Structure 1
């Protein structure tokens, strides 16, 4: 079989798809698997093999975000792909509810907030050695700060008879978010799944399962601390739409350190 960059055969196609398959094992890293490491080196050294991997992934409905020795194979789902995880499905899995639209918004804003909390400055996102940190309470507090900012902006706009036109998705989100309690318990002592801290916790655990974050116990804070991986950093760099993420940074992260990071984040109804 010929490509624009060279010739490859069945064995090459098999190796290309095997490299893609490693992308579905997010916690495995090339340095822990000799075959994985060899395929990553081949991708890096052979342009024809790189193109074969990209073409094969596209045929499966996938986009190759990166293949590196540190992160391994990092994939994203193309729109309409069988691998695409839409937020309404994610929210439904997190909790069956009749308020699905509200749940979708809350889960979406939680994921946006985790990304913005972990990478509040453009230099953080550009630094391959940077490790962002987050906790459930810090992300929840971050979103509530944004909610207060948006609430104040909406009130001022109403006083001035000047309807707020920016950040419409966030405006809708803060109303839904502020209606929920931060934390509460069920009768048997479990965390109530409808609280905002429970929703943030679900987002963080999902990212751990996807190899985007690692978690550890923090004795001082009496809770878990989540740290970013290179895999997550690559994903955040490649996410799809700038407006909501940029607005979160401007309204929320600015409380600690001013930023206008030029990063794109996924469509509000889609997770990749």
Structure 2
């Protein structure tokens, strides 16, 4: 392989990776994008080059298809990893960031579990999950209620030790928050759990993980539908300590399997 050919292939690999940073730009609207995806799927050498280039940039290729486009995620320590300060600005988190971080974390886990409640749903590429903010808050509160009951049964102290599991520390704060706290403008206040759920859903929508549906007339709230991009992310990148703690509690959303989400070996960068 000549240097010119290698350079062309590397440039093409970088272009495909670049498309992954434009989550709402679909292959159906771009012939060049489609051609790169086809090449990735049909040329193992090119696919390997893409994965190695992505790894060198601190990214993991999650999936590449005509439906989802290029889907990648930042590895820990990557320059592309979303930092807490950046996330705080995006969701307008102004104070108590350590506490809010945990609350937003379990909220995102709840969204994933509700969107794909059964193992076959998560594994079915044609499955589309639906979720709304009220469902998220109810599910998280049910988890917190169970943790509260277990804590009471064990006669635990009001304040958990600093090294307590994340969920154990979170439920105490979550249960003290109102679901809705109307302000003078009629909107729910920033500390309300419904606000946290709504902002988490909006965050995923802005990144092409969810699409917005119309307002449900019965619940008077907007419903979100999952995209294939989000399904790939949940399927491959659900390995967090908090989620493992959630599974260990045996609390599952309705119509769920105990193995609804599988975890990823963090040491595996390529197939």
* TM-score when normalising by structure 1: 0.86
1:152 corresponds to which residue?
149
Tell me the distance in 2 between the aligned counterparts of 1:113 and 1:59. 32
Deviation track 1:46-68 (CA, whole Å, cap 9, x = no partner) reads: 11111111121122211111111
Cα distance in 1 for residues equivalent to 2:95 and 2:205: 28
For residue 2 of structure 1, report the CA deviation from its aligned partner. 7.0
Q: 1:58 to 1:255 in 2, by over 3 A?
A: closer
Q: How does 1:23-172 map to 2 (within 5 A)?
A: 23-87=20-84, 89-158=86-155, 168-172=165-169
Contact 1:67 1:73 in 2 (8 A): yes
Instruction: Provide structure 1 residue ranges, at least 5 long, that are not aligned to the other structure.
Output: 268-272
The aligned residue for residue 236 of structure 1 is 234
| In structure 2, C-alpha distance between the alignment counterparts of 1:68 and 1:182, rounded to whole Å | 39
Contact 1:64-1:76 at 8 Å conserved across structures: yes
Partner residue of 2:225? 227
Give the 3 Å change call, closer, same or farther, for CA 42–255 of structure 1 in structure 2: closer
Q: Give secondary structure in 1 for the equivalent of 2:175.
A: helix
Q: 161, 170, 178: which is aligned to 1:173?
A: 170
Counterpart of 1:207 (choices 195, 204, 208) is 204
In 2 relative to 1, CA 213–25 (structure 1 residues): closer, same or farther, beyond 3 Å? Answer: same
Query: 1:122 Cα deviation (Å)?
Result: 1.4
Query: Counterparts of 1:257-268 in structure 2 under 5 Å?
Result: 257-264=256-263
* CA–CA separation in structure 2 for the residues paired with 1:78 and 1:35: 27
State the Cα distance separating 1:108 from its structure 2 match. Answer: 0.9
**SS of 2:21's equivalent?**
coil
Q: Deviations over 1:111-141 (max 9, x none)?
A: 1111111112211111111111100000010
Q: Is residue 178–residue 192 contact of structure 2 (8 Å, CA) maintained in 1?
A: yes
Q: Cα gap change, 1:168/1:260 in structure 2, threshold over 3 Å: closer, same or farther? A: same
2:179 counterpart of 1:182: yes
Give the root-mean-square deviation of aligned CA atoms.
2.7
d(CA) in 2 for partners of 1:239 and 1:72? 17
Instruction: Measure, in 2, the Cα distance between the counterparts of 1:255 and 1:240.
Output: 19
* Equivalent residues, number: 260
Secondary structure (helix, strand or coil) at the match of 1:181 reads: coil
1:240–1:145 Cα change, 3 Å: closer
Secondary structure at the counterpart of residue 155 of structure 2: helix
How far is 1:29 from its partner? 1.6
Cα distance in 2 between the residues matched to 1:148 and 1:216: 30
Question: What are the Cα deviations for residues 195-231 of structure 1, in whole angstroms up to 9, with x where unaligned?
Answer: 1111111110111111111111133432211111110
Q: Structure 2: which 5+ runs fail to align?
A: 267-271
